[in-house]
């Protein structure tokens, strides 16, 4: 058993040069890893602040939730979570696995068994940096196996200097399973390389199993088993790691054919494949979460079956090679037969197990063949590399400098050498096949460059070693023999390869990119989440209910969780779902698992309050009906709403939370997830009339003007400008939000005059939260056909004054009814099972009756000392009146009668 690690030899250790020659790689690798750690720790102070701990992105917040559950219920992970995807709940099988369990273990050790939430959060913040640094170890040893210590150290150095996806995924705060995926995938490849080398040396055969020659098989079986264990760790961290089984299946198929064509028995390679895949399959089987074969994102039967299939394929190919030899058939026919049988197997699977075939084919398209759906393309990390800023070549240069060119040269050179039977090494073929597939993955989805970075580093290490061999560079203990031309050549290599990376001459350097990392938009959601957690009722206690949901409770797995009376959901875009669960401790309808996205898309595009309400009301019963709610006509939605059970009717969405990005740069993505039947053309176009009439536009810009059941209850202290801006990348006009946010209404209002001269720009609070209420109905008498406008002056928690207006026309009998969502007092709070609204009325409702009354003109009237100044209103107002609306009235749907006085 050997990883080619130099053994310690006490003889001759008195010489400094001898010690240096033997051990120089240890301090060199340690310094490289220290540099990697320091680079990744740079933005620590941005994430760990005196009063808060932040994470980067979205998924890190759910990892925190899953990890804290494991800390509380060690070592078990969360089986089911009703605190997301309201009103169904979900099983987040890509989360709460090995990655979170390992972090939970560290948290318990650090906290001496009773960690505080801040201690746990800090460990979670640091985790990606530490795991990222550990990736240098398999990278070093993979390259070392191919090209010695010199190549291994150079590979580790390249990995340390590379900016891009691997770096961003391994900086403090980005606590996602991505960096753990890289570690376990690279470790699996390393262990498989060792197993292949051992098998090539010992040439195990089938008869040794019959004779139970375990001593002769021990080393091959041990390393093969360890490779299988490494693959199982990868499965346990990320179920879609089944993609590596496909890559290894391709490798074993090619390797067995090459071995046979070059005149050698392929049996030793087949044994490595059969044993490693069988071990991985068994270990995956004992940990499955779901009995099924159609969900790659779930640890199910798909992973073990795929591993067993590759194992069986290796055994079959070895058996077929023996049959080929026994019948003295031309060896060139062997790979043709294997290819033909493979096609037959694919056809049989497609016919016998169409669901499995469709699952595999869809994954091949989505992961390898640029076949993502339009909705998947709205996810930044799932977009093709060619769609990134600067195009394919620009992205590669920015993130790899020239190292990707040298990696390509190394692959071609390596393949050329593999043609020679005397130089053939199956572990080199493994690296070639692995790199080719990683390249396809990275070209299809940009996030997979975090895998490709390791392969690029390894190949650069191998190429450097070849260059040193060609230049005949002496070893470190014979430096006095170095020639001038050799020094110049080495300096040139370092200048071309290392300098562009270290300096960031083509883009960000690793140091600069890591230092620029920050929590992002979650920071300006802070006050909204603080308000939500403190000023809304705990789920399970809304209204008169008293059945508070346990935040870290253990819930049974189900397709449709039955929520208790008083539980409720929060409508927002999927990007913010994990933030709402973790920071607000409330239940989002949509989340970054892309669950609930269709209904959310339909809701925000809806052109009327009625349609928006139908979508939310029909949602609890949608699981029992086919089709997308968002794309149904209103009559279909009414039918589903009326079909709700009593329990489903109690599962209400109570709040809607929106932000500047939803109204700005993300709006186009929102419209991609569902068509809008009530919009000509099928979807809302940004800045169009339908955009401003949509639920998102009406809520974000108009404070629910004219709506009956939505009231603004909180807005964030930060303000944003949303509208047309010039793209810093293309120079073209784009619809976006201004990232330079203004703090507080007093500061923000200073810019309103400037915005009045700028078309298609609006100054709005960055985050707004609305509550759905039944609304109170204001009734009264007027002349038939007269215009009636009710108006209420309000002040938000930021100090911003605004006026809510609603209008109607008196009926033929001279009466009117207008339903309003805002109360004139603040009687209720979370202790009563209701909302402590941060938006307050500064006066009673004013009711205006007359001819040609314009609600928009009333809403634009100035507010002086908390009262609406209607003195300049250009309309024939015949009668006026006032009425209060107590807060219980808007929840209970009460009526308020107003008496009007002649002007």
pLDDT per residue as tens digits for the range 118-166: 999 999 999 999 999 999 999 999 999 999 999 999 999 999 999 999 9
Same-domain status, 650 and 789? no
Residues 6+ apart with CB under 8 A from 402: 496, 497, 500
pLDDT beyond 50 at 111: yes
Return d(Cα 844, Cα 835) in angstroms, integer.
Answer: 20
**Which neighbouring-strand residues pair with 846?**
791, 882
Is residue 240 in some structural domain? yes
Return d(Cα 767, Cα 529) in angstroms, integer.
Answer: 10
Q: DSSP of 283-297, one letter per residue? A: HHHTT-SBS-SS-TT
Q: Is 314 helix (H, G, I), strand (E, B) or coil?
A: helix
What is the C-alpha R_g of the chain?
33
Same-domain status, 426 and 385? yes
Same-domain status, 662 and 783? no
Give the domain CATH number at 529.
3.40.50.12610
Considering 736, 771, 806, which residue would you say is the last residue of a domain? 771
Return d(Cα 137, Cα 562) in angstroms, integer.
Answer: 48
The arithmetic mean of pLDDT across residues 296-320, rounded, is 94
pLDDT per residue as tens digits for the range 20-79: 778 888 999 999 999 999 999 999 999 999 999 999 999 999 999 999 999 999 999 998
pTM, entire model: 0.93
Same-domain status, 870 and 767? no
Neighbours of 731 (CB within 10 A): 8
Backbone angles phi, psi at 474, to 5 degrees: -70, 165
Is residue 416 in some structural domain? yes
How big, in percent rounded to 5, are the helix, strand and coil portions of the chain? 55, 10, 35
> Among candidates 410, 414, 402, which has minimal Cα distance to 492?
402
Is residue 120 in some structural domain? no
Considering 733, 754, 771, which residue would you say is the last residue of a domain? 771
pLDDT per residue as tens digits for the range 347-395: 999 998 898 888 888 888 888 888 888 888 888 888 999 988 888 998 9
Same-domain status, 297 and 396? yes
Predicted local distance difference test score (pLDDT) of residue 476 = 62
Return d(Cα 453, Cα 529) in angstroms, integer.
Answer: 37
Is residue 802 in some structural domain? yes
Is residue 656 in some structural domain? yes
Is residue 252 in some structural domain? yes
Considering 736, 751, 771, which residue would you say is the last residue of a domain? 771
- Band (pLDDT 50/70/90 cuts) for residue 877 is confident
pLDDT beyond 80 at 93: no
Q: What is the CA 495 to chain-centroid distance, rounded?
A: 37
Is residue 343 in some structural domain? yes
- Report the relative pairing of strands 652-659 and 767-772 from DSSP bridges: antiparallel
pLDDT per residue as tens digits for the range 250-263: 999 999 999 999 99
Predicted local distance difference test score (pLDDT) of residue 12 = 44
Same-domain status, 491 and 640? no
The arithmetic mean of pLDDT across residues 819-823, rounded, is 98
C-beta separation of 699 from 603 below 8 A: no
The arithmetic mean of pLDDT across residues 611-632, rounded, is 95
Q: Which residue has the tokens 């790689």?
A: 25
Q: Which residue has the tokens 């091949």?
A: 364
Query: Is the backbone of residue 148 left (phi > 0), alpha (psi -120 to 50) or beta?
Result: left
Is residue 896 in some structural domain? yes
Return d(Cα 174, Cα 634) in angstroms, integer.
Answer: 42
> Among candidates 468, 687, 670, which has minimal Cα distance to 575?
670
C-beta separation of 607 from 625 below 8 A: no
**What are 229's two structure tokens?**
């264990």
Quick one: how many helices (H) and strands (E) in the chain? Answer: 36, 19
Question: E strands along 727-844, which residues?
Answer: 733-737, 742-743, 761-765, 767-772, 776-781, 787-795, 801-809, 815-820, 840-841
Average model confidence (pLDDT) for the chain? 92
Instruction: Report which DSSP code applies to 650.
Output: T
The arithmetic mean of pLDDT across residues 821-831, rounded, is 96
Give the domain CATH number at 822.
2.60.40.3390
Same-domain status, 314 and 167? yes
Neighbours of 698 (CB within 10 A): 21
C-beta separation of 203 from 268 below 8 A: yes
Same-domain status, 749 and 850? no
Domain carrying residue 663 = 521-534+560-771
As for how many domains the chain has, the answer is 3
Query: Is the backbone of residue 689 left (phi > 0), alpha (psi -120 to 50) or beta?
Result: alpha
Same-domain status, 435 and 293? yes
CA distances for 219 relative to 280, 317, 661, angstroms: 18, 23, 57
Same-domain status, 235 and 346? yes
Neighbours of 827 (CB within 10 A): 11
> Among candidates 803, 821, 797, which has minimal Cα distance to 528?
797
Burial class (CB in 10 A: 0-12, 13-18, 19+), 28: middle
Q: DSSP of 837-895, one letter per residue? A: -S-EESSPEEEEEEES--HHHHHHS-EETTEE--TT--SEEEEEEEE---HHHHHHT-E
- How many Cα atoms are found within 13 Å in the side-chain-facing hemisphere of 828? 21
Q: Is 787 helix (H, G, I), strand (E, B) or coil?
A: strand
pLDDT beyond 50 at 9: no
Same-domain status, 708 and 781? no
Burial class (CB in 10 A: 0-12, 13-18, 19+), 18: middle
Same-domain status, 787 and 761? no
C-beta separation of 252 from 273 below 8 A: yes
């Amino acid at each position: 058993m050997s990883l080619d690690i130099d053994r310690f030899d006490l003889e001759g250790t008195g010489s400094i040069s001898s010690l240096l020659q033997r051990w120089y790689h240890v301090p060199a690798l340690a310094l490289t890893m220290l540099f990697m750690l320091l680079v990744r720790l740079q933005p620590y102070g941005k994430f760990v602040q005196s009063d808060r701990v932040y994470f980067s992105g979205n998924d890190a917040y759910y990892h925190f939730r899953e990890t804290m559950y494991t800390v509380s219920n060690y070592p078990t992970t969360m089986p089911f979570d009703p605190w997301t995807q309201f009103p169904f709940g979900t099983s987040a099988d890509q989360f709460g696995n090995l990655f979170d369990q390992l972090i939970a273990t560290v948290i318990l050790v650090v906290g001496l068994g009773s960690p505080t939430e801040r201690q746990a959060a800090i460990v979670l913040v640091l985790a990606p940096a530490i795991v990222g640094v550990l990736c240098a170890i398999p990278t070093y040893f993979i390259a070392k196996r191919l090209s010695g210590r010199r190549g291994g150290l150079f590979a580790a150095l390249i990995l340390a200097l590379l900016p891009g996806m691997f770096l961003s995924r391994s900086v403090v705060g980005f606590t996602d399973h991505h960096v753990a995926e890289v570690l376990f995938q690279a470790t699996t490849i390393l262990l498989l390389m060792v197993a292949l080398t051992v098998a090539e040396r010992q040439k195990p055969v089938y008869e040794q199993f019959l004779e139970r020659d375990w001593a002769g098989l021990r080393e091959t079986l041990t390393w093969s088993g360890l490779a299988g264990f490494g693959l199982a760790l990868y499965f346990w961290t990320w179920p879609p790691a089944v993609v590596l089984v496909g890559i290894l299946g391709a490798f074993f198929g090619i390797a067995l054919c090459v071995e046979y064509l070059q005149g050698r028995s392929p049996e030793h390679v087949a044994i490595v494949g059969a044993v490693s895949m069988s071990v991985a399959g068994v270990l995956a089987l004992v940990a499955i979460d779901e009995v099924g074969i159609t969900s790659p994102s779930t640890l199910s039967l798909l992973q073990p079956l795929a591993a067993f299939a590759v194992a069986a394929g290796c055994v079959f190919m070895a058996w077929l090679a023996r049959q080929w030899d026994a019948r003295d058939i031309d060896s060139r026919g062997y790979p043709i037969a294997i290819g033909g049988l493979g096609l037959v197997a694919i056809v049989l699977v497609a016919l016998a197990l169409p669901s499995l075939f469709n699952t595999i084919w869809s994954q091949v398209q989505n992961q390898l063949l640029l076949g993502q759906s339009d909705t998947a393309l709205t996810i930044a990390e799932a977009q093709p590399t060619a769609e990134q800023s600067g195009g394919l070549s620009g992205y590669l240069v920015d993130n790899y400098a020239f190292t990707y060119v040298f990696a390509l040269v190394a692959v071609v050179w390596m393949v050329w050498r593999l043609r020679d039977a005397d130089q053939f090494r199956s572990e080199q073929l493994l690296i070639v096949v692995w790199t080719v597939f990683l390249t396809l993955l990275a070209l299809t989805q940009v996030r997979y460059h975090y895998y490709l970075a390791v392969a690029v580093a390894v190949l650069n290490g191998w190429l450097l070693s070849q260059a040193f061999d060609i230049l005949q560079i002496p070893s470190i203990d014979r430096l006095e023999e170095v020639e001038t031309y050799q020094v110049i050549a080495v300096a040139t290599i370092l200048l071309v390869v290392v300098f562009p990376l270290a300096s960031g001459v083509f883009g960000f350097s690793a140091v600069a990119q890591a230092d620029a990392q920050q929590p992002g938009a979650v920071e300006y959601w802070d006050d909204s989440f603080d308000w939500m957690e403190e000023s809304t009722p705990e789920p399970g206690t809304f209204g008169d209910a008293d059945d508070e949901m346990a935040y870290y409770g253990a819930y049974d797995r189900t397709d449709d969780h039955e929520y208790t009376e008083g539980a409720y959901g929060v409508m927002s875009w999927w990007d913010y779902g994990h933030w709402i669960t973790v920071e607000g401790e409330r239940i989002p309808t949509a989340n970054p698992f892309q669950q609930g996205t269709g209904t959310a898309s339909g809701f925000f595009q809806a052109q009327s309050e009625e349609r928006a309400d139908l979508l939310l009301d029909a949602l609890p019963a949608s699981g029992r009906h086919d089709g997308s709610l968002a794309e149904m006509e209103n009559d279909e939605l009414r039918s589903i709403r009326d079909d709700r059970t009593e329990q489903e009717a109690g599962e209400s969405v109570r709040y809607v939370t929106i932000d500047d990005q939803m109204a700005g740069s993300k709006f186009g993505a929102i419209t991609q997830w569902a068509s809008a039947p009530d919009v000509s053309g099928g979807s809302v176009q940004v800045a169009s009339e339908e955009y401003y009439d949509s639920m998102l536009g009406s809520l974000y810009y108009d404070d629910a003007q004219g709506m009956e059941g939505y009231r603004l209850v909180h807005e964030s202290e930060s303000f944003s400008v949303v509208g047309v801006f010039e793209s810093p990348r293309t120079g073209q006009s784009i619809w976006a939000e201004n990232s330079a946010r203004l703090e507080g209404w007093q500061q923000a209002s200073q810019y309103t005059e400037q915005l009045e001269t700028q078309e298609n720009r609006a100054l709005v609070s960055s985050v707004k939260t609305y509550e759905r209420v039944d609304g109170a109905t204001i009734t009264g008498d007027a002349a038939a056909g007269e215009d009636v406008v009710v108006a209420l002056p309000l002040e938000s928690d930021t100090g911003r004054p605004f006026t809510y207006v609603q209008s109607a026309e008196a009926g033929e009998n001279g009466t009117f009814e207008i339903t309003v969502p805002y109360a004139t007092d603040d009687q209720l709070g979370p202790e009563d099972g209701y909302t402590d609204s941060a938006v307050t009325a500064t006066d009673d409702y004013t009711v205006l009756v007359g001819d040609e009354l314009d609600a928009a003109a009333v809403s634009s009237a100035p507010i002086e000392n908390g009262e609406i100044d209607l003195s300049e209103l250009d309309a024939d107002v015949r009668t006026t009146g006032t009425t209060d609306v107590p807060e219980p009235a808007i929840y209970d749907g009460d009526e308020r009668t107003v008496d009007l006085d002649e002007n």
